[in-house]
Structure 1
Amino acid sequence: MPPVKPTVLNPQEAEKLERIAFILKTVAHPLRLGIVHLLEQHPRLSVSSITEALESEQSLVSHHLQTMKLKGILSAKRDGRSVMYSLKERDVSLIIECLENCQCNM
């Protein structure tokens, strides 16, 4: 039996896989995953609310929020003296949900 020749990805499939890899690399940290999880439950949260919920230092949470904002995963809007963060990319939630539901042996 001859070896199976792999099919070449079309440009759309390749682009989709690049996007998924980009999202996974961006959120590949427990604190960032925690932030995404919180923002799935509460569409808009302030830095202080996220810090309190995750029981983490404000400077560390702010750093991760800024990174995810710069990468296009989160959006931020000023509301008085607070900055409110929300998920900009619904794909993030879908990818994480898929990974949470996989039957991986860990």
Structure 2
Amino acid sequence: MSTLQIRLEQKALEKTAYVLKCVAHPVRISIIDLLTQRDRLTVSQLQRVLQIEQSLLSHHLTNMRDKGLVDTQREGKNVFYSLTDSTITDIISCIQSCKLFS
């Protein structure tokens, strides 16, 4: 019988928990899902699909930006949001394929 051990370093565990806490909200998961479908979207585009108040959406986007999950790029009066790391979309794939959520 092999010895059990934690296979991730403490820093990796902390970073993972930090990211998962940030995305642990249906709106934020939806934002990630939408940003996987398009490279970048404006608040207006996201709001049209999500159908939530602009202030609530901005709150979520600010939180995601502050945690490093999304980047912003201003073009004129539009601010475009994009994912900083496309591998975060693996969370969506995992959720979709997990039998617990079917």
TM-score by length of 1: 0.83
SS in 2 for 1:78: strand
SS in 2 for 1:37: helix
SS in 2 for 1:100: helix
**Does 1:19 pair with 2:38?**
no
Separation of aligned partners in 2, 1:15 and 1:104? 29
Separation of aligned partners in 1, 2:8 and 2:27? 35
* Partners of 1:39 and 1:86 within 8 A in 2: yes
**Does 1:41 pair with 2:37?**
yes
User: Aligned residue pairs: how many?
Assistant: 102
Mean alpha-carbon deviation: is it higher for 81-90 or for 94-103?
94-103
Mean alpha-carbon deviation: is it higher for 96-105 or for 31-40?
96-105
* Partners of 1:72 and 1:89 within 8 A in 2: no
Equivalent residue, structure 2, for 1:97: 93
Matches within 5 A, 1:49-88: 49-88=45-84
Separation of aligned partners in 2, 1:105 and 1:53? 22
List runs of 5+ in structure 1 lacking aligned partners: none
**Would the alpha carbon gap of residues 10 and 81 (structure 1) be closer, same or farther in structure 2, given more than 3 Å must change?**
closer
Q: Which has the larger radius of gyration?
A: 1
SS in 1 for 2:39: coil
What's the % identity of the aligned pairs? 39
One-letter amino acid of the structure 2 residue matched with residue 7 of structure 1: Q
Separation of aligned partners in 1, 2:8 and 2:55? 43
Equivalent residue, structure 1, for 2:4: 6
Q: Aligned Cα RMSD in Å?
A: 2.1
TM-score by length of 2: 0.86
